[in-house]
A and B are shown apart, each in its own frame.
Chain A
Amino acid sequence: EAQVTQNPRYLITVTGKKLTVTCSQNMNHEYMSWYRQDPGLGLRQIYYSMNVEVTDKGDVPEGYKVSRKEKRNFPLILESPSPNQTSLYFCASSPAMGYEQYFGPGTRLTVT
């Protein structure tokens, strides 16, 4: 089944404890992206990747890192999480830029 998977689905952590949210797609898509969803703010793009080893900042990149070493994986790294990063995070992929994006099921992160 073609899909985007994210792990973990739920995570509660403490301020400053480094964490990684994994994202993997099995559709051989070139483009991948991370978003955060907050009430009243919709989705905001954090980082995107046009292909392996090619990443760029979205609208809200502060406090996040990404890497794209393999085509199928695009992990999101929070090196020192803070409470304002409490949010619902979505990974998405698409065949190339401009195509519709396929979204993962989301990761709900709480930073205390």
Chain B
Amino acid sequence: AQSVTQLGSHVSVSEGALVLLRCNYSSSVPPYLFWYVQYPNQGLQLLLKYTSAATLVKGINDFEAEFKKSETSFHLTKPSAHMSDAAEYFCAVSDLTGNQFYFGTGTSLTVIP
């Protein structure tokens, strides 16, 4: 089974600073990788999705993620943090069939004014 590791359960950045949230997956290359965001008391919303078309994936609200097979990583970045980015972020990968999904434990992002 796949496993997903998100390093840093809590990350704090200053407003305007770079956001870097880390995600590593295990074993063989999963066909699908995702980043989701969860705002307080809400369900998850898709930020971006990797499907092998390009290693650098652009998502909503200026978020990007780069798939690096050699490092089994799919880190999420944003050049300049906004206060509205404060939320919980989840990395998710599928199994080889694309039916079963594995989520990381989440990273809570705090943006300091």
Task: Tell me if B's interface is mostly helix, strand, loop or mixed.
Answer: loop
Complex interface: chain A residues within 8 A of B49 (CB): 100
Question: Interface with B: A36-44, A63-71, A79-87, which one?
Answer: A36-44
Assess whether B32 is in contact with A43, with CB atoms less than 8 Å apart.
Answer: no
Assess whether B44 is in contact with A90, with CB atoms less than 8 Å apart.
Answer: yes
CB-CB under 8 A for A50 and B99, given A42-B105, A103-B43: yes
CB-CB under 8 A for A97 and B102, given A90-B43, A103-B44, A103-B45: no
Complex interface: chain B residues within 8 A of A43 (CB): 44, 90, 92, 103
Assess whether B43 is in contact with A106, with CB atoms less than 8 Å apart.
Answer: yes
Q: List residues of B (25-80) whose CB comes within 8 Å of A's CBs.
A: 31-32, 34, 36, 41-46, 49, 51
Chain B contributes a number of interface residues (CB within 8 A of A) equal to 29
Once bound together, how far apart are the Cα atoms of A4 and B43, in whole Å?
A: 10
Complex interface: chain A residues within 8 A of B97 (CB): 97
Complex interface: chain B residues within 8 A of A44 (CB): 103
- B84 at interface (Cβ–Cβ under 8 A)? no
Q: Could you jot down 6 A-B contacts, CB within 8 Å? A: A42-B103, A45-B103, A48-B100, A56-B100, A103-B36, A106-B41
